[in-house]
Chains A and B, each alone.
Chain A
């Protein structure tokens, strides 16, 4: 097991100035250059732009060589931890292995150099690929159509809610409210509000799930939809999901599923079979496209039959002769959600992954992801408080209740994990758990890595009792230690400024 790091020795071991890398602007030196273009081979005209249209030089832009740039970004990269280096157990984020084949194939020149406004007959390969990924997602979701336009989970949510609005408006009443459980991701209420709805929050029960009778009370002619995460943010499956769908459908409302947690049940159960009307899938979660420090992602949305007319345009269609085309002819469509064709090259990566896994592989993802999460749950339960004891699937949510008597809180435990070489879990979410530690290991982790993580968590729990100050002042071994976040927000410095001297 990783040795316990003493605060004193840690600071002593890091010489002043180590792990620091100046801003690229601070590396700039007049006359340095990082590029070369061929000499201009056409006659130069000096009359193209009037002086008012022409800019002065870009003040303070950098002058650096390629060596400077490569060193700079390589040094910056070393200040990050990543899934390639080890377990990254962020709950709700599904930080799984990102196969390099996906990267290689996305760089195939025929994909990478294709242009979004080319005529359909010039991009048959791209259109066929889009068609195939839609077919595959249709089968995974158990739904008749899927739009590939949304480029992130929240973008998918907005797409879905706009479709619900349009469908309801067409039948005479767009309605006012979207119901959302209090355990939901923040994007859910934000997307609902963005689409023009008011949000009503529903309280979770003691299992952390939604009570049918509570739902029944709230669903009336003013409710457009329920947005629910399956399994929910505690990793608990909503056992009564089909009855929920029935309650909503009886009143003409829709069931929207936030598919952030699809990794828990891909290949095991299908949203369409649960009565779900819409689901988005974050391809950067379940289907392994890299998170890239916060994107790009993709958030395709699957829909039930009655929502098909409202899908964003264009859709990808296949003719009888086997050729493909982009189809804008959907009079009831909500319109386009973005210029061009979504995050195409994220879709290439995701389809590569789906093919690498195949039907058995996709099912095995869910099985091992759930096994891994339950293994962590079994090893840490008792030492860490489990506020909701219901059986959980791909993630497990503990709290700091057993540690707070020692005045050690979730934030401290998270920071201390960094000293043991692990990225912390998601913390303080879901909001229904005070001091939440939300752990999602994914199927990518071998048993040894899970054991090392659990050993670290158990060691930290002991430290909380024996040397709480060590935990409270963590991390000690990271490139920087705890930051003054209040200062960052009180006097925001949001860009580099040259010194005035």
Chain B
């Protein structure tokens, strides 16, 4: 049957049955199912307002506050999420479930705050750059340390990540507390960072208006995602990461230094998360960082994003935009007496379907075969 088909149709058929396209279909199905089931849940519990509330959430980012403002807010929310997601997605390729994103994120964030407040005189106009880079390096160091524990002591990555999350959080808070200029004991939040530590807009304010908080961080985040994609796809190191992820024993036999690969992967993951943390706080002027004993939510949202994107760095950009879009829209649900956390219900349902999305792929494959046979 195949060789009688015209050339273009054959190409289309090949594309439609390709691995990449069926993954895309599966991802699309998981999102649609997640949205649908969460809507049913909403309908059961809040019948009267469910339709309006759901509409506001879906269109809210652009509908209620205008496209320009809405877009700015979505991009602003998406920037740190993109990096947290990249941090998780990158290690996923090496077969490591890096639950330590949240800890690396907060270590990067508070290191950025410390550098911004303490080193104003040293770096002058480039204070923001120094603070962001120091935050990223601190995150990288923390990630590398976790990788070291995993590689050399055979420590379970999840347990190690959970422990390192809390140690990192409390350690960096203790360091902040040691310096009254950064965090006066018992006040509950850190001091405001100097204006020079706020990242420049780089022309983005002309698109999104003076009040928008979108800044150069967006470019950094997107560029890092693209760079990570390049590393994974085109370099030996990227190949080694994926090889270790597929089969650690076989790659060791093939001469790959597994310990080195794990530590480097974790270091880069920490670097991304640290970047995310620092960028998150050095974005908007005049904000305190509230000191808490809870891990930052972005670390876990990042995990969601990476899972939805199946760890693909470019897909993470879009997944982060998607989640940020829902989060901004979700804020509008408060007008209906609903909690914006509803967005997390949707996200987690999508992730739930991601756990067995190969089932959807399988269905799609069978449907496709059936369609071809029907012709």
Instruction: Please indicate whether A and B come from the same complex rather than being unrelated chains.
Output: no
Interface residues of B (CB under 8 A from A): none
